[in-house]
Amino acid sequence: MDLRETLDEATLNRVLGAALAGGAEFAEIFAEDAGRSSVMFDDGRIETLASSRDVGVGIRVIAGGRTGFAHTADLGIESLLRAARAAAEAARGDGSPRTVEVTPTSVRSASVRLVPSEIDKATKVERVRRADQVARAQHHAISQVSVNYSDNRRRILVANSEGLLVTDDQTRTNFSVSCVASGDVGLQTGNESVGHTIGFELFDRYSVEELAVNAAARAVTKLSARPAPSGTHRVVIGPGSGGVLFHEACGHGLEADLVRKGASAFAGKVGELVASPLVTLVDDATMDGEWGQFAIDDEGAPAQRNVLIENGVLLDYLWDGNRARDAGRRSSGNGRRQTYRSLPMVRMTNTYLAGGDQDPSDIIASVDRGVYVARLGGGQVNTASGDFVFGMTEAYLIEDGRLTEPLREGQLIGNGPKVLQLIDAVGNDFAMGPPGTCGKDGQGVPVGDGVPTLRVAEMTIGGTAA
């Protein structure tokens, strides 16, 4: 569907006028056409082969700090007007009605060479089937393999009472392999996933065979792993997937809605030294091809590169349009929503700790005894305090400056702001980690994160060995 043809300027102006008829200060139309396809291969057979499409419009009206919101899957003018009036009534404005004239603004959406919807299902199934075969052939201990492929295309339109009219076209493609190995120590898992804001050309960058080999090798390696040590240790976090630690333990605390609620450990600290001088933390929606990339956020603000912490000093927070208006400043391009049925809120995009100048091998060699965390899994964080617990899905013991034995899964326990201060070495091997979905207040959005190799002076390991 071409949203610009269905929702022409005359229609948008009329609907925005109806939304402002009650005297509201601000009105917004968010339209979305989202299509998705997926293949899930589990236990040697196709478990799911599915496709879906969701089209609709959400209308938001703001008046005197009150927000009215309504949505509809019917893009006909009468349905849109009913939704606009319902949102206006909920906001209860007391100003004067006014008219709107939207002006189209052009942006450059991420380029797609091979549109996934134009690739036949058999080709997609062949990719997952091949990964399953290769993973199972790696070792006799591999007892279970799950392979998932998905793609989605999301076309959005944003128009508002400030005259904005802008569209974006976002395509994302994802592939993951998960393996289970069985042995004397029980079941051990290994995973590998890739995803980018590109089309089916994802498979020009990555070999499904290599992804399957990596996932199987991680599972098999854990069969001979020793229990993770417990207590306080020097920790080296490897490049890529360790970025989820800073996304969860620090990034959420830099979102303006949590800051203004007093639910952030970073509230009131702009201009202060909150981290090691080696730390520069960035949120960047313009990163070409990364999972959290877009041309505009879900309020129509252009994608931006926002430096949050520079050389240890807190420079700014992440802002959506609503909080930015209240603060008398511009949005940082971080207003995001899951679907047209959702209100936007402050969210991260691609969040990462910038690379340094140290050789990663020198960083490992500097540790007499510690833990090297190659991959982190899910976890929990208290944004108000910054306290966190994350699972270590791939880790190794460091002894006399060398990686030695693999460790069984344990937990990495600490405090986000404190960890930022305890980073005492940053490598020159920056990498983005696997694609992620960030959940907040019941909404999930695609995000990326990354880190170089870095050393933390001390962290608590929750293991089973003394």
CATH numeric code, 116-153+169-222: 3.30.2290.10
**Low-confidence stretches of the chain (pLDDT beneath 70):** 466
Per domain, the residue ranges of the chain are 3-37+50-105, 116-153+169-222, 231-462
CA distance 233 to 172: 39
How does pLDDT run across 2-60, given as a tens digit for each residue?
899 999 999 999 999 999 999 999 999 999 999 999 999 998 899 999 999 999 999 99
Confidence at residue 180, expressed as pLDDT on a 0 to 100 scale: 97
Q: Tell me the per-residue pLDDT of 47-101, one tens digit each, with 9 for 90 and over.
A: 999 999 999 999 999 998 899 999 999 999 999 999 999 999 999 988 888 899 9
State both tokens at 100: 């709107």
Relative orientation angle of helices 208-222 and 121-137, to the nearest 10 degrees: 30
To which residue do tokens 């002894």 refer? 399
Measured distance CA(391)–CA(382) in Å, rounded? 16
Residue 466: what pLDDT? Answer: 58
* Per-residue tokens: 404: 């030695």
pLDDT at 72: 98
Instruction: Please report the pLDDT score of residue 51 as a whole number.
Output: 96
Phi and psi at residue 148, to the nearest 5°: -130, 135
Kindly write down the DSSP assignment for every residue of 122-175, as one continuous string. Answer: HHHHHHHHHHHHHHHHS-TTEEEEEEEEEEEEEEEEEEETTSEEEEEEEEEEEE
pLDDT score recorded for residue 387: 92
The pLDDT of residue 85 is 97
pLDDT at 378: 81
- DSSP designation for 255: B
Say if strands 423-426 and 454-462 run parallel, antiparallel, or are unpaired. antiparallel
